[in-house]
Amino acid sequence: MGTITISIADDTEDLFRDVVREEVGTGKGTLGSAVEEALQLWIATKKQEEIAVRQIQWMKKGFHLGKYTFDRDELHERK
| Predicted model pTM | 0.65
% of the chain surpassing 90 pLDDT = 58
Answer whether residue 22 shows pLDDT above 80.
yes
Closest by CA to 5, choosing from 30, 32, 28, is: 32
Return the pLDDT at 73.
Answer: 81
- The stretch 30-55 carries a mean pLDDT of 94
Q: How confident is the model at residue 41 (pLDDT cuts 50, 70, 90)?
A: very high
CB count in 10 Å sphere of residue 20: 19
Name which of 48, 19, 44, 20 is nearest 32 in CA terms. Answer: 20
Contacts of 16 (CB under 8 A, 6+ apart): 8, 34
> Helical H runs in 1-79?
10-23, 30-61, 72-75
